[in-house]
Structure 1
Amino acid sequence: MTARSVRGAVATTLAAVLSMSAAACSNPESPGGGSGSADSAVVGIAYEPDSLSPLLGYGKDGNSKIFDGLLALDGAMTLRPALATALPEVSGDGLTYTYRLRKGVTFSDGKPFGAKDVVFTYRTILDERTNNASRTELDAVKTVEAVGDDSVVFTLKYPYAPFAQRTVLPIAPEHIAGKQDVNTGAFTTHPIGTGPYLLTKWSKGEKLSFKANPGYWGGAPKIKKFTMAIIKDDDVRATRLRSGDLDGAILPPNLAKGFKGEGRKTYAATTYDYRTVTLPTHNKVAGDTAVRRALDVAVDRQAMVDSILNGEGRPAYGPVPTDSEWFTRGTERRHDLAAAQQILDAAGWKPGKDGIRTKDGVRAAFPLWYLTGDKLRQEHALAYASDAKKAGIDITAEAGTWEVIEPRMKQDAVLAGGGSPADPDFDQYTLLKSSLAGDGFNNMAQYDNKAVDAALEAGRRSGDKAARKAAYDTVQRELVKNPGYTFLTHIDHLYVVDDRFGPLTTQVEPHDHGLASGPWWNVEKWIPGGSEK
């Protein structure tokens, strides 16, 4: 399918979807109907989780609403106590973390929370029989032990500097989850937690409905009902917000700007959220180092920021944003079409009569998949294909669901997203480690670089910040030499919310799409019709 036919297909589908959406908005039984009530809120998000069990990865970065971690992150992204009474006591060698637990906390079924639940949660995640794709994030943990009912001690294999940040991970109740199959039990869709909200209903593909937990240890939320409507299509989300079906929504910049002066406020969140093109190692074209290097300088990142993001973002040269202390200066790649052409010429990729290059009988062409309904990914994909064409590489943009895309990831390029603000290890390890190639959505490009593997391990295992910085500098420089991904932009998230809520705040956000982020990151602190605490 050509880029032009993709536009046509999307337009045709969108017209039908918008028509159905308009009908849904007038239906009081439609999913996530606008609250219209001072003590309730309905927001539109782009994606839903696969599971609501923290044992399978739900809420691992915090803000899960149903659960709490030992620690949490405040508005300034500073760690604060949650189920723990204080930050952990850390031994001098950095190998032992001791947490004192809050007393008197109960799960939403009334049963007490204690050290055994913490031990159960971490041990279950580390069990290889548990289908948690994020298990490697806890690789440093050697043992986790309860000391009485109100203390837990973690012993690490090596001094993992950001370990405390990992303990925002939600705690599951052993008395419920421990009596079920961890991967398929009812707990995965009907969770019980200690958090500020209780799940009342999960209509998959439609909405997640919550009610305030009256017994919440942090105080009962004043927003009594909270609904997250799952609306994957950006245009449909905007339409439902304008119709009053939603109180707030995450929107791409070009749609968010249309809501100025309509009784709604726009909130921006700086993020680590990037868009990137995977260049599969097993594809004869995308896996060629010369093609990868050429694409890296053929792409006009600043033009994407200006035209697609309306300036709400920055050029991306890797997973680390340019304004981060972990970014390696000198790894920026300037848009240089002539340099891209020279790289391809030198590598034997010669232009054909149609301008598309070939080498050893292989045509420089491959498909690039993006998620149906995601306007930003579509526009990034089309712009990338256009830039590549000027260098003599024919990239065909294709739209599909993840069910369609995932089986093709080994051979076909994907317009993907990622990013975590917590620590370089959190995002780079799963993105680039060769041993994780083919492990679900980890290392989607199946990137294989021994120098990067060694640097990732060094960065993970060192407790010295200077040594860690040197390791992640190596990673970023290696991505210049052999970029298994073409990083395009870092995107600032925009949220439009009814002005009867506020003033609201946002955090520095990961690649999250609004489920645990956005102005509702602390909805449990909102005051109906007024200012938040």
Structure 2
Amino acid sequence: MRRDIRLILVFLALVTGALWAQTKAAAAKEELQRTTGEVGQYGGRLVISQRAEAKTLNPVTAIDRPSREVMYRTQADLIHINRVTQRTEPALAKSWTASNDGLEYALRLRRGIRFSDGQPFNADDVVFSFQVYLDQNVHSPQRDLLIARDQKITVQKADPYTVVFKLARPDAAAERLFDSVVVLPKHLLEKAYHDGTLGQAWSLTTPPGQIAGLGPFRLKNYVPGEHITLERNPYYWKVDAKDNRLPYLNEITFLVVASEDAEAIRFQTGDTDVISRLNSENYALLAKDQQSRGYTLEDLGPGLEYNFILFNLNDDTRGRLPDIARKQAWFREVKFRQAVSAAIDRSDIVRLVYQGRGEPLWAQVTAGNKLWLNTKIPKPARSLNRARELLKSAGFTWNKDGKLGDHNGQLVEFSIVSSSSNSQRMQIANMVQQDLARLGIEVSVVPLEFRSFLERVTQTHEYEAAVMGLVNGDVDPNPEMNVWMSSGATHLWNLGEKKPATPWEEEIDKLMEQQIVTLNYPARKKLYDRVQEIVADELPIICVASPDILVGSKKNLGNFRPAILDPYTLHNVEELFWKPK
């Protein structure tokens, strides 16, 4: 009996040793990336809340924050911007070289790594991905970053693990543009692309086995209106300092909550483990219980988010939306927009909405972006007298009741829509309503569910004005090309322009194109300073305020290193682990 047991033990040892040897041999063929964070331990689940449900898991079409927040945990890029150092670093490309004229980049890819479904990754996937992003029929927001003077970046496969990119002109931030471009699995998406159905691929109801990426996690399940759960990708291409394959966590669950307040309550009670984009009111409430509840909060200072008022200047409303088209005569008048800007009390917004944890804005670049901020932008205090002068000079008048009317005698009334799940922006909308009432303008505030809000602003254009915000994913101006270029996919105030609608938009187009090819930083900054001046003068969006980055996590979450670049808390999710309590 004992002899039989010994034989079984010996057999198991041999099998275990063989499996270990095979694993080590397989790992030796993989060109893995070693991280420098604290060595953690495996296991556990991370729960994160979201104020709105993701719309898609498709990297080609996703533009909303919830979708991108989930999707980027399952995907990877060629060259990555480190959110802490703000510098580029190798990712799927282990190294790269640039030609002397800055027009050609050769990227050498990691060998032996696989997608989350186990299929190999190589240069064919990279070439396919850029073919998709550059196809104007796909309408990907990344396309604007990859076009220079109507000339596309060309991509060639030099060998199975080398890809050569040729630029139409030098790009001052060429390395950084790869950060925003997810590498797609050709074996899963090629058919949908050729069938013209790629835009509908990878919805939330797609079976997990039909979705794959090169990120640290992969889709496990989706319960509509409740949560999305991701599971560990066993093929992920990063290891820690002791060659343990990352990620450490078994799962991540994105929990849908009704509002910011609900999000704070779930964090306070321990239902969620990390909280990001806290508003100042909830930050102050949560701070009282830090010691007793076992979590920590951090104020990282100014980030890159800019919140603004947006007037609907889209050209497709004529005939289709006559009431909106009539009011657009006001909105297109720059003096009207300037009057609205002059009437807004930005200092009050920072004091009341952000409880002092934020800053007023007059253009799109915040104090958190020290490299590109134009410090000469005027910062006038709120002036109702100045606002009235501007309105009067534009032909507006007041009736005996103090109500503002246009030159046809029509009372100036409009609505402001905003996402009901963002209490800060709703509060900004209400404060703007009160400020404009002092000019005799009647404003109604309309809260909308996030998906409905996004659909109205970006697709149907059934809105008059909106309060919303954008967050640049990088300190460099280039990721915002699609916002400021008149042809950009997120040129929100007038989407779908075939040519610049105004002379100042034409000037912005030229400045943004010129800054890309200007390799000298001071000269390049001068160009982008001018863009900020135009935005502050012409007010295609009326910037009002930017909040500090306020985050929190449970105390025993290892390798938690929040940053001011989005995503603030999950940029190194593969390194996060649970320490013993």
Pair in the same fold by TM > 0.5: yes
CA distance in structure 2 between the partners assigned to 1:163 and 1:63 by the alignment: 24
Shift of 1:265: 1.2
Correspondence for 1:164: 175
Q: Tell me which residue corresponds to 1:114.
A: 122
C-alpha distance in 1 between matches for 2:199 and 2:226? 23
Contact 1:271 1:421 in 2 (8 A): no
Structure 1 residues 45 and 252 mapped into 2: Cα distance closer, same or farther (>3 Å)?
same
In structure 1, C-alpha distance between the alignment counterparts of 2:559 and 2:351, rounded to whole Å: 28
Q: Which residue does 1:220 correspond to in 2?
A: 246
Three-state SS of the structure 1 residue aligned to 2:522 is: helix
Indicate whether 1:501 and 2:557 are aligned.
yes
Verify the 8 A CA contact 1:109 1:192 in the aligned structure 2. yes
Query: What amino acid maps onto 2:375 in structure 1?
Result: R
Seen in structure 2, the aligned counterparts of structure 1 residues 351 and 272 have a Cα distance that, compared at 3 Å, is same
Instruction: Decide whether the 8 Å contact of 1:196 with 1:221 is kept in 2.
Output: yes
Aligned partner of residue 518 in structure 1, secondary structure: coil
Verify the 8 A CA contact 1:507 1:518 in the aligned structure 2: yes
In the other structure, the counterpart of 1:256 is 283
Matched, 1:246 2:262: no
Among 81, 106, 110, the alignment partner of 1:102 is 110
Deviates more, 1:426-435 or 1:483-492: 426-435
| Residue 343 (1) aligns with residue 359 (2) | no
CA distance in 1, matches of 2:157, 2:362: 44
- 1:343 Cα deviation after fit: 1.8
Query: Aligned to 1:56, what secondary structure does the other structure show?
Result: coil
Question: If each structure's helix is expressed as a fraction of its own residues, which one has the higher value?
Answer: 2
CA distance in 2, matches of 1:138, 1:444: 22
* Cα distance change of structure 1 residues 394 and 302 upon mapping to structure 2, 3 Å threshold: same
Deviations 1:271-298 (A, max 9, x none): 2111100023351222221111112222
Distance in 2 separating the partners of 1:288 and 1:463: 37
Letter of the 2:78 partner, please give it: L
- Is the CA contact 1:420–1:426 (under 8 Å) kept in the aligned structure 2? no
Counterpart Cα distance in 2 of 1:232 and 1:471: 42
- TM-fit CA distance, 1:44: 0.7
Asked whether the 8 Å contact 2:310–2:467 carries over to 1, the reply is yes
After superposition, the Cα gap between the structure-2 partners of 1:38 and 1:194, relative to the gap in structure 1 and judged at 3 Å, is closer
Tell me which moved more, 353-362 or 411-420: 353-362
Within 5 Å, which residues of 2 pair with 1:179-328? 179-180=191-192, 181-186=197-202, 189=206, 190=208, 191-218=211-238, 219-250=245-276, 251-260=278-287, 261=290, 262-269=293-300, 270-281=302-313, 283-323=328-368, 324-328=370-374
**1:370-426: CA deviations, max 9, x gaps?**
111210110011111222222333322111134253366465101011131525544
Q: Distance in 2 between matches of 1:171 and 1:54?
A: 9
* Runs of 5+ consecutive residues of structure 2 not aligned to the other structure: 1-41, 239-244, 314-324, 496-500
Separation of aligned partners in 2, 1:364 and 1:333: 27
Q: Distance in 2 between matches of 1:209 and 1:61?
A: 13
Write out per-residue CA displacement over residues 296-342 of structure 1, whole angstroms, 9 at most, x where no aligned residue. 22212122112111222211112111353222232233122222222
Distance 1:411 1:159 in 2: 40
Q: CA RMSD in A?
A: 2.6
Corresponding residue for 1:367? 415
Counterpart in 2 of 1:331? 377
Deviations 1:203-262 (A, max 9, x none): 343222111122322022221111111225112222322333222323322112211223
Partner of 2:464: 412
Shift in Å, 1:135? 1.7
| Mapped contact 1:409–1:444 kept (Cα < 8 A) | no
Which amino acid letter does the alignment assign opposite residue 192 of structure 1?
Answer: A
| TM-score using structure 2 length | 0.77
Q: How many angstroms apart in 2 are the aligned matches of 1:491 and 1:206?
A: 28
Instruction: Judge conservation of contact 1:410–1:445 (CA < 8 Å) in 2.
Output: no
Of 536, 547, 565 in structure 2, the residue corresponding to residue 491 of structure 1 is 547
SS in 1 for 2:424: helix
Question: In the alignment, residue 254 of structure 1 is paired with which amino acid?
Answer: E
- Partners in 1 of 2:229 and 2:222 — Cα distance? 6
- Contact in 1 for aligned 2:58/2:71 (Cα 8 Å): no
Q: Which residue of 1 aligns with 2:400?
A: 353
Residues 252/465 of structure 1: CA separation in 2 closer, same or farther (3 Å cut): same
Given that 2:58 and 2:202 are in contact with CA atoms closer than 8 Å, whether structure 1 keeps it comes out as no
SS state at 1:452 partner: helix
* SS of structure 2 residue aligned to 1:491: strand
Q: Is the 8 A contact 1:445 1:485 kept in 2?
A: no
> Quick one: distance in 2 between partners of 1:489 and 1:495?
19
What is the TM-score when the length of structure 1 is the normalising length? 0.84
Q: How many residues are paired up?
A: 485
Matched, 1:145 2:171: no
Per mean C-alpha deviation after superposition, the further-off stretch among 125-134 and 381-390 is 125-134
CA gap 1:342/1:236 in 2 versus in 1, 3 angstroms: same
**What displacement does 1:118 show?**
0.8
- Secondary structure at the aligned position of 2:94 is classed as coil
Q: Deviations over 1:27-56 (max 9, x none)?
A: xxxxxxxxxx97211111224443223233
Q: Is the 8 A contact 2:274 2:553 kept in 1?
A: yes
Q: Which residue number corresponds to residue 190 of structure 2?
A: 178
Matches within 5 A, 1:118-133: 118-133=126-141
Query: In structure 1, what is the equivalent of residue 100 of structure 2?
Result: 92
Query: 1:152-207 CA distances to partner (integer Å, 9 max, x unpaired)?
Result: 11101111222211212221111122133422234884421122112111334322
2: CA distance, partners of 1:164 / 1:530: 39
Give the match for residue 54 of structure 1.
59
Say if 1:373 and 1:60 are closer, same or farther in 2 by CA, change over 3 A: closer
Uncovered stretches (5+) of structure 1, i.e. residues with no partner? 1-36, 511-516
Q: Secondary structure of 1:450's match?
A: helix
Query: What does residue 393 of structure 1 align with?
Result: 441
- Aligned residue number for residue 79 of structure 1: 88
How far apart, CA to CA, are the structure 1 residues paired with 2:507 and 2:350?
A: 31
In structure 2, give the amino acid aligned to 1:329.
T
Matched letter for residue 306 of structure 2: Y
